[in-house]
């Protein structure tokens, strides 16, 4: 089955389809219509550095639903070159559950990542120009927060000094990875071109000399930024290896942003499919919480079912061993995530993502533990067996989605103070005993209040490897304190980002990056991207 046949089956009119590169379509926003489908959210426990297989599970689940006669779509984030060449490798699934063409999607795809990078850096250039010519409003150069962006892990660019030319204005600056750019978050959360432009206008870049917020509107840059993003806002439509439609659009990280694909892509899927499977980044403490408290609440995207992906290798990682007792110890992390999901009003379906080196004994033992917890679960072998390996999971998900009729609950109310919101997420979702704000964070809290932004939701940035803000605290840590060292104001995206622990917005490459494994043969075939 080719992509044109897949799209025809989905039902999107050809007049809305813009062919790209012979392997993808950009879909015009005019194709959006009324919601018809059910939304299934895929999350996980705290992963290992290699990941839990959420993307693979989401793709395989969509394939299984399609194979059983349902009209299904999977919506995913676009891969970032940082992880592709860093620790995890590509982000297009694995085995028989992947989207195609994997190499192009993992690299330049339709150019969306480059457009976001250019839009972000256009603002940085216009801001520098504004400072250079001493335009009104005058900028307090000690309080400029807008950095540069680059879609690559490069720790050397975290902190730099700019303005060193003879008549320049020297100041500290830096880079963040494109996935952490506020432009990326705005792209993922916009409902239309007009909405995107208005959100860009509201971006707070720093502080003026009179203490007011400096915004993109002050630079008159929103029009040029939107011009760079006109095509980028159109969702990308590709397909899985099994021929299931797949929207792959936007790519915010969940440890330093909100971590979901675009609202536009998800709503496009819900217009045409019976079931839309979407993935949130990392564990339920990050992507899932942020989806619920930010995306679901503000964009009418309430899930009908939630899948929690677990693996033997991650559970043993949390149990710090390789035997059955390690599964017993590591299961505390699974229980914490089940409790998180239930606190939002959902009873999850646990997907046991089986890897080739898992033993039958290990899988059976995990199933027994899940039975004792009275949680629905299914073994998933979609990487090895494709759609057939996800049929039990698909059946359980359909049953759960059909039953959901209630309203979800949220961790906090928007009317509460920022300190209250952070405390509720830290205590209810992470299991922390308390929260501490550094002096720098307290200064930002005062500015947030002064700028009238206290009603915004929060998007806590922290490590993905632990429920705490310390990556070394595995399992279900107790009696820990969350430290908020700073607060990033993302007024354009519509949330505040409290920075917890030592989380970085520009990651570095590991000692042995995945880039060392990538090769290209004489015909241009690329190998080694998937890790």
Residue boundaries of the structural domains of the chain: 3-110+232-403, 112-229, 418-500
What's the pLDDT at 190?
98
| Vertex 78 angle, CA 73 and 83, to 5° | 135
Tell how far CA 404 is from the center of its chain: 24
Assign 531 a pLDDT band (cuts: 50, 70, 90).
low
For residue 181, what pLDDT is reported?
Answer: 96
If you average pLDDT over residues 21-39, what whole number do you get? Answer: 95
Q: DSSP per residue over 144-212, as a string?
A: E---EEESS--GGGSSEEE--STTS--EEE-EEEGGG-HHHHHHHH-SSHHHHHHHHHT-EEEEETTSP
Listed residue (503, 299, 496, 499) closest to 417, CA to CA: 496
Domain 3-110+232-403 has what CATH class? alpha beta
pLDDT, average across residues 46-68 = 93
Q: From the centroid of its chain, how far is CA 161?
A: 30
Residue 360: the pLDDT is 95
The Cα–Cα gap between 193 and 17 comes to 17
Residue 223 tokens, joined? 């029009």
Paired residues of 150 in beta bridges: 177
Per-residue pLDDT, averaged over 188-203, amounts to 98
Per-residue pLDDT at 235: 98
Looking at every residue in the chain, the average pLDDT score rounds to 95
What are the structure tokens assigned to 349, written together? 């379906």
- Give how far the C-alpha of residue 131 lies from the chain's centroid of Cα atoms, to the nearest Å: 33
Above pLDDT 90, what percent of the chain? 91
Taking only the tens place, the pLDDT of each residue in 8-27 is 999 999 999 999 999 999 99
Q: Where are the beta strands (DSSP E) in 293-336?
A: 305-310
What are the pLDDT digits (tens) for 257-294?
899 999 999 999 999 999 999 999 999 999 999 999 99
pLDDT of residue 78: 96
Of residues 269, 184, 257, 194, the one with CA closest to residue 230: 194
Cβ-in-10-Å burial (0-12, 13-18, 19+) of 405 comes to exposed
pLDDT digits (tens, 9 = 90+) for 403-429: 887 789 999 999 999 999 999 999 999
Q: What percent of the chain has pLDDT over 70?
A: 100
Candidate CATH numbers 3.50.30.30, 3.20.20.210, 3.40.630.30, 3.30.1510.10; the one for domain 112-229: 3.30.1510.10
Determine contact, residues 88/465, Cβ cutoff 8 Å: no
- The helix or strand, by DSSP H or E, that contains position 26, with its residue range, turns out to be strand 24-27
Per-residue pLDDT, averaged over 332-338, amounts to: 97
Class of the CATH domain delimited by 418-500 = alpha beta
pLDDT in the model for residue 89: 78
Torsion sign, CA atoms 414, 416, 417, 420: negative
What's the pLDDT score for residue 70?
Answer: 96
Q: Which residue has the tokens 């991650």?
A: 314
Whole-model pTM? 0.95
């Amino acid at each position: 089955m080719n992509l044109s046949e897949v799209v025809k089956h989905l039902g999107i009119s050809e007049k809305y389809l813009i062919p790209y590169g012979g392997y993808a379509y950009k879909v015009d926003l005019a194709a959006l219509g009324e919601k018809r489908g059910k939304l299934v959210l895929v999350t996980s426990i705290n992963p290992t550095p290699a990941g839990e297989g959420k993307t693979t599970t989401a793709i395989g689940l969509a394939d299984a639903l399609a194979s059983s006669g349902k009209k299904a779509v999977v919506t995913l984030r676009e891969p970032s070159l940082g992880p592709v060449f860093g620790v995890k490798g590509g982000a297009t699934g694995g085995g028989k559950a992947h989207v195609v063409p994997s190499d192009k999607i993992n690299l330049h795809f339709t150019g969306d990542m480059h457009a976001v990078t250019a839009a972000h850096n256009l603002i940085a250039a216009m801001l520098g120009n504004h400072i250079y010519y001493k335009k009104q409003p005058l900028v307090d150069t000690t309080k400029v927060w807008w950095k540069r962006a680059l879609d690559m892990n490069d720790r050397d660019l975290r902190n730099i000094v700019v303005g060193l030319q003879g008549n320049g204005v020297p100041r500290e600056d830096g880079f963040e990875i494109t996935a952490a750019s506020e432009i990326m978050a705005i792209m993922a959360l916009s409902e239309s071109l007009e909405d995107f432009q208005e959100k860009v206008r509201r971006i707070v870049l720093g502080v003026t000399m009179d203490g007011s917020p400096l915004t993109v509107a002050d630079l008159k840059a929103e029009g040029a930024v939107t011009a760079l993003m006109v095509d980028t806002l159109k969702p990308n439509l590709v397909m899985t290896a099994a021929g299931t439609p797949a929207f792959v659009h936007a790519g915010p990280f969940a440890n330093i942003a909100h971590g979901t694909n675009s609202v536009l892509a998800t709503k496009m899927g819900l217009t045409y499919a019976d079931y839309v499977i979407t993935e949130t980044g990392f564990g339920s403490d990050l992507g899932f919480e942020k989806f619920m408290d930010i995306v679901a609440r503000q964009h009418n995207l309430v899930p009908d079912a939630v899948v929690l992906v677990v693996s033997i290798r991650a559970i043993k990682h949390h149990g710090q061993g390789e035997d059955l007792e390690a599964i017993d110890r590591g299961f505390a992390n699974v229980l914490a995530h089940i409790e998180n999901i239930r606190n939002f009003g959902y009873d999850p379906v646990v997907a046991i993502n089986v890897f080739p080196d898992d033993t039958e004994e290990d899988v059976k033992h995990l199933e027994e533990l899940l039975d004792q917890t009275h949680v629905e679960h299914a073994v998933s072998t979609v990487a090895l067996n494709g759609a057939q390996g996800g049929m039990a999971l698909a059946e359980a998900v359909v049953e759960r989605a059909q039953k959901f009729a209630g309203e979800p609950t949220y961790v906090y109310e928007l009317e509460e103070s920022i300190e209250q919101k952070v405390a509720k997420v830290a205590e209810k979702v992470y299991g922390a005993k308390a929260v501490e704000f550094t002096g720098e964070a307290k200064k930002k809290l005062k500015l947030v209040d002064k700028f009238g932004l206290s009603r915004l939701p929060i998007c806590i940035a922290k490590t993905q490897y632990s429920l705490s803000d310390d990556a070394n605290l595995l399992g279900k840590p107790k009696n820990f304190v969350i430290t908020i060292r700073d607060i990033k104001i993302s007024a354009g995206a519509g949330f505040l980002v409290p920075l917890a622990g030592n989380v970085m917005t520009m990651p570095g490459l590991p000692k042995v990056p995945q880039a060392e494994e990538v090769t290209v043969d004489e015909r241009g075939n690329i190998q080694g991207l998937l890790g």
